Amino acid sequence: MKKHLILLLFVSFTLVSCSSHVNETWNEIKTMKKITKYSDVSDLVICSEKNLHKISTDLLKKKMDKGGKFFLIDLREADEVANGVIEGSTNIPRGLIEFRIAKDIPGINPQDEIILYCKNNNRSILAANSLQQLGYSNVYYLDGGYNGFMGIKEEVAAPQVQVASQAPDQNKAKGAMPMKKKAPGGGGC
């Protein structure tokens, strides 16, 4: 009789333990952050930027003159870096920043001030967002990027717009690309 009672208690305890673990897992799944789908990369950049800190080129120049402690990271690719860098920066391309920041900058801590730059802004905004998600709490992106810092003004080609009244075969004859459709339900911050 005692054996049966002990066995019954053991089985009951095991079932209660498993049930509680299943409930905890289910609650975690229900409270997971919903993944936002963006209509295109510019929408992702705009939404990411809203939660970030930016630093102006003037303020960065003042910080550099004062010699304060911060880490300046150039996110551009090797062919871009060959044209020049901001003095004192470390180059870690955008596609590798999450993997290499701790390895390429020994002694960096999640609380350290980190200033990211790319050519203009987009890659540094996305990288700053990623680093914040990895626990780096003092991340900035350089407003205007390398070009803004160096005073480089690029001529931007006007976007080609497809006229809605043109028939699709007229566009093909002219070599125009078909219009890109936005993903249904996508976009928004």
Q: What does the pLDDT look like over 3-44, one tens digit per residue?
A: 665 656 565 555 555 555 556 665 666 566 677 888 888 989
Q: How does residue 186 score in pLDDT terms, banded at 50, 70 and 90?
A: low
pLDDT in tens, 69-108: 999 999 999 999 999 999 999 999 999 999 999 999 999 9
Pick the more confident residue, 39 or 126. 126
User: pTM for the whole thing?
Assistant: 0.66
Look at residues 119, 112, 69 and name the one whose alpha carbon lies nearest to residue 94: 119
- Specify the amino acid at residue 133: Q
CB 70 within 8 A of CB 112: yes
The per-residue pLDDT for 188 is 62
Q: Which residue has the tokens 């005692």?
A: 2
Instruction: Write b or e for each residue in 53-68: b if 16 or more Cβ atoms lie within 10 A of its Cβ, otherwise e.
Output: ebbebeebeebeeeee
Between CA 76 and CA 82 the distance in angstroms is 10
Lowest mean pLDDT: which of 53-62, 105-114, 120-129, 150-159?
A: 150-159
pLDDT in tens, 137-184: 999 999 999 999 999 887 655 445 454 544 444 434 344 334 343 444
Chain-wide mean pLDDT for the chain?
79
**Dihedral pair phi/psi, residue 183, rounded to 5°:** -65, 135
The per-residue pLDDT for 170 is 42
Pick the more confident residue, 186 or 25. 25
Between CA 189 and CA 170 the distance in angstroms is 36
The per-residue pLDDT for 176 is 39
Q: Is the pLDDT of residue 135 over 90?
A: yes
Between CA 158 and CA 58 the distance in angstroms is 29
| Sheet strand arrangement including 71-74 | 53-55, 139-142, 114-117, 71-74, 90-91
Q: Is the pLDDT of residue 128 over 90?
A: yes
| 139-142 and 114-117 strand pairing | parallel
Q: Cα dist. 109→9, 52, 67, 103, 130 in Å? A: 50, 18, 19, 12, 15
Q: How does residue 68 score in pLDDT terms, banded at 50, 70 and 90?
A: confident
Between CA 44 and CA 31 the distance in angstroms is 23
Rounded average pLDDT over 42-65: 93
Structural domains in the chain, CATH included, are: 53-150 (3.40.250.10)
Q: Is 120 exposed, middle or buried (0-12, 13-18, 19+ CB in 10 A)?
A: middle
- Specify the amino acid at residue 26: W
